[in-house]
Amino acid sequence: MNVVFLGPPGAGKGTQARRLAERYGVAHIATGDILREAMASGSDLGRKAKSYYDRGELVPDEVMLEVVAHRLRQADAAQGFVLDGFPRTVPQAEGLDRILRSMGRRVEAVLLFQVPQPALVRRLAGRWVCRAAGHVFHEVYSPPKVAGRCDHDGSELVQREDDRPETVERRLEVYVRQTEPLVEYYRGRGLLHTVDASADPDEVARRVEAALREAGAL
């Protein structure tokens, strides 16, 4: 399974990518998670990314391509991958094609998660993530069993810096301007499958699997 999840902030890509990767034993490669870990550790990558991330802007393509090229060569990605949040620009998609070609691999399917904008804003405003491993909750739609604590590892739940309303607005604009052109890029290559991701997470998971089966990626 070599698949890409595409869609606006808050569409549920991370929630579904994590479930799918665990269920099928493939790598969940989330570039946002990689950047948040890098910022938390104060690495070179974290320092390079921070000013873009905090403004809701995209980190430069060449930085992201290096990150993903390295990550795809790690052992757990050999069985397959779910790319979540990458590619996000046409140059990133072209770069991904080059990297995979050099490895004798290719993207098999791209799922476009569709959710109306007011629902995206509600999902991001109520999102809580755990400090230890980034497990994701929502105060209304998928609340933790104990308020403020992760169900999986007990660590503290916090809100993401970039989920402030003004940054969310910017991220949604950036998505339309820089990432939406990928819809035509992948449609033109016959790889695009749309998923109505406005239902509850279990139903969306069923739709994701159905779309991947139809695409021949599962």
By beta carbon distance, the residue nearest ligand AP5 is 32
Nearest-angstrom CA–CA distance, 166 and 101: 39
Nearer to ligand AP5, 145 or 216 (CB): 145
Binding region for ligand AP5 (CB under 6 A): 7, 9-15, 31-32, 35, 52-53, 56-59, 64, 85-86, 88, 92, 123, 126-127, 136-138, 141-142, 162, 171, 200-201, 204
Give the pairing type, strands 157-158 and 127-130: antiparallel
Give me the least distance between CB of 180 and ligand AP5, in Å please.
13
Nearer to ligand AP5, 86 or 185 (CB): 86
Task: Of 41, 102, 42, 40, give the one whose Cα is nearest residue 68.
Answer: 102
Give me the least distance between CB of 205 and ligand AP5, in Å please.
9
Give the pairing type, strands 2-6 and 157-158: unpaired
Nearer to ligand AP5, 79 or 114 (CB): 114
Task: Of 18, 34, 28, 40, give the one whose Cα is nearest residue 161.
Answer: 40
**CB distance 120 to 8 below 8 Å:** yes
Give me the least distance between CB of 191 and ligand AP5, in Å please.
18
